[in-house]
Structure 1
Amino acid sequence: MSAVLDQIFQVGFLAAIIRIATPLAFATLGEMFSERAGVLNLGIEGIMLLSAMTGFTAAYFTGSLWLGVLAAAATGALMGALHGLFTVVLGLSQHVCGIGITLFCSGLAYFFYRLIFGQQSVPPSIDGFKPVAIPLLSHIPILGPAVFSQFSLVYLAIVAIPLSAFVLYRTPWGLSVRMVGENPRAADSAGVSVIGTRMTAVILGGALMGLAGAFLTMAQFNAFTFGVVSGRGWVAIALVVFGRWDPWRSAGAALLFAFVDALQLRMQASGLGHIPYEAFLMLPFVLTIVAMALMSRNAVAPSALLKPFRREER
């Protein structure tokens, strides 16, 4: 146990928490925007996987990482629009459509990856993002190397958190999102386009999910594998509830999960007794379930979540 504690109080451990939390922060913010508008997006896992594949493929063939990021975000936005078409415009079941999007995107990712790259013994890889040290800030003891010597996408995620809070609470569009998520009838009476606002929120959410996928294949692993997402999309849905549909709290929930995930990696490396490594792997997910069970009792979801809006129905 002392070996684990020694590793926890290291700069590398703090830096690992930030890196692990980055894709979760992107995905959680994306799901948060969608749910605040009244649309549950269970397609997040598949959207992240397909975006990770398209972003990796674009970066692999163009040699430009930022084109890969753009391709991933565009893929996420497109799949978000598809989910919005089914759930917002047509008013179909959000649960069923979300699962369908996940299955569709997963199958599409596997198909196109095999079609483009074939079945190689050594998976293709790219020269991914490199850590970028911010002058002056990176020299702050402990905090500098851990937070301000990270990948560019990490900084983008850090900026996205206060920006999301500002957009949601300080802009007319953010007010519209909250209105259509709580009382779409009142929003419609006030002249707010419920369909348009929900579609915009779902598309924005999909783009953020795409950025989460891009980080995994272009910064964290520098390659695409079929298990690259590994349930992070489902975790993001839980983190939104844990964060009570608030950008700051959701980001804090992502950091908490990342802390436990980084901790279990250190525990595996320390070789604690004869505990199977599978026990460490499931630790973050078990704690997520426990946190969900405790927090969901007092969590108040947007009132119109899962409820389709049909103007002709009263």
Structure 2
Amino acid sequence: MSEQPTQEPGAVAVKAEPRQEVDTRLQPIKWKFPITYVLLGLLSLGVFALLSPTGSVTQFRLATASDIVTLPAVNVPSFATALVLSVLQLGLAALAIFAAARRIRLGIWHPMLFGLLFVLAFLVYAGAGRGAFIPVVTLLAGALMLSVPLIFGAMCGLVGERSGIINIAIEGQLLAGAFLAAVAASFFTSAYVGLLAAPFAGAAVGGLLVWFAVKYHVNQIIVGVVLNVLVIGLTSFLYSTVLTQNAEMWNARQQLPRLPIPGLSQIPILGPVLFNQTILVYLMYVIVFALHILVFKSRWGLRMRAVGEHPKAADTVGINVPRTRVFNTVLAGGIAGLGGAYFTVGQGLAFGQEMSAGQGFIALAAMILGRWNPKGALLAALLFGFSTSVGQVLSTIGTPVPSEMLLMLPYVITIFAVAGFVGRVRPPAAEGVPYIK
């Protein structure tokens, strides 16, 4: 009979906890991005470099007449420049392979630098021997202006979906904002009045979306699609029956004036692009900066994210889930309405049928590509705007690349983004799920 271990008087018995096994298995190596870098680098080398005419020159114009310091035009040898840029891309691709094999995570600088080199190589190839300057300032300014409605729409979708409401109606909110901005600006002969009216149109569409979603628990995707069709039909009807019959009163052109910031607007290259804009663009800067702080570092942002991730837990700590979703979705609609104002008073155009032209869906893709983060959505929207601007600018100087292929780039990028090619993205857990107590 074995002896039992004795316990000394006064000793406290301690129960041994089971040992926790640590999972030491390595994560699988992800080769998707390294292979993509290699393919793009080879494309740059085989097309942009080797097909550039030997002895040709690509010309870049870097300045405008209003710059404090006028930068001279830059002329670069097309073949040699494209070759060097392609070799640098392949070097970055090799670095990506090395990092992936050793499971080292590279920073955001790597894809941004690779993308910059790829775009420069493409521009060198596109302008080789054309005898025309590639206007860098015009290219960048066009990219920013084309991104304005996308950025507003992406911020709208971010606020709504972070609160748990899927917003497919961004397209309708942009179109409604453009319509009311044009009508109000024309009637009061003031573009600023149109700018003030636009958010109310977007907020109204957002209110309808959240009303059906929260009160009646209707499928949010279906409601969003129906609202898009409703806004398109309603604005088209009013356009054909009211606006065209008395265009001087209801659909006259009114444009927001540019407000250049003294000193900053005269900085070479970036000054005319960033600091010689209308108040609508400056509002966009403020909204993106404010959301980047508020979403992650404020009480309002914490409650919004809690409602979008786990509404039951948010309710148990006293957060009114329906009220939070209603308020945020209406607020998001107002942001999209501002983006719609760009189509009319922002560009000095009269309202036209379906003039939003699918920009709401591109904004939705930018939000997904940006992983429901204001900074990421901003960069994604700028990428879409830049690709469109490149197509427009290069089509005017004549390039070996068909302009139709350049103009379809934003939509190709959208397909890849939504398909998850850019990486696995996780939406808010309670997105699209009705909350029932």
The TM tier, using the shorter chain, reads over 0.9
Q: Residues 274 and 262 of structure 1: is their aligned pair in 2 closer, same or farther, counting only changes over 3 Å?
A: closer
CA contact (8 A) 1:242 1:250 kept: yes
The count of aligned residue pairs is 310
Match of 1:136 in 2: 263
CA contact (8 A) 2:365 2:417 kept: no
Deviation for aligned residue 1:119: 5.6
Match of 1:16 in 2: 142
Match of 1:150 in 2: 277
CA deviations 1:37-88 (Å, max 9, x no partner) are 1111111111211221111000001012121112110011111011100012
1:254 counterpart = 2:381? yes
Deviation for aligned residue 1:293: 2.7
Match of 1:222 in 2: 349
Q: Residues 117 and 183 of structure 1: is their aligned pair in 2 closer, same or farther, counting only changes over 3 Å?
A: same
Match of 1:210 in 2: 337
Q: Distance in 2 between matches of 1:221 and 1:229?
A: 15
What is the TM-score with the length of structure 1 in the denominator?
0.93
Match of 2:222 in 1: 96
Q: Residues 124 and 67 of structure 1: is their aligned pair in 2 closer, same or farther, counting only changes over 3 Å?
A: closer
Identity, in percent, stands at 35
- Structure holding more helix per residue: 1
Q: Distance in 2 between matches of 1:53 and 1:24?
A: 17
Q: Residues 295 and 203 of structure 1: is their aligned pair in 2 closer, same or farther, counting only changes over 3 Å?
A: farther
Q: Residues 295 and 248 of structure 1: is their aligned pair in 2 closer, same or farther, counting only changes over 3 Å?
A: farther
CA contact (8 A) 1:31 1:41 kept: yes
Letter in 1 for 2:179: M
CA contact (8 A) 1:8 1:263 kept: no
CA contact (8 A) 1:151 1:219 kept: yes
Letter in 2 for 1:99: V
What is the TM-score with the length of structure 2 in the denominator?
0.67
The aligned runs of 1:285-300 (5 Å cut-off) are 285-295=411-421, 297-300=423-426
Q: Distance in 2 between matches of 1:89 and 1:246?
A: 28
SS at match of 1:60: helix
Query: Bigger relative contact order, structure 1 or 2, given CA contacts below 8 A and separation 6+?
Result: 1
Deviation for aligned residue 1:137: 1.1
CA deviations 1:256-304 (Å, max 9, x no partner) are 11111101112221222483x4333222211221233344641011000
Cα RMSD (Å) of the superposition? 2.1
1:189 counterpart = 2:316? yes
Match of 2:44 in 1: none
Q: Distance in 2 between matches of 1:196 and 1:186?
A: 15
Runs of 5+ consecutive residues of structure 1 not aligned to the other structure:
none
Match of 2:429 in 1: 303
1:31 counterpart = 2:157? yes
1:106 counterpart = 2:232? yes
Q: Residues 61 and 32 of structure 1: is their aligned pair in 2 closer, same or farther, counting only changes over 3 Å?
A: same
Q: Distance in 2 between matches of 1:134 and 1:200?
A: 34
1:177 to 304, 307, 326: 304
Bigger Rg, which one: 2
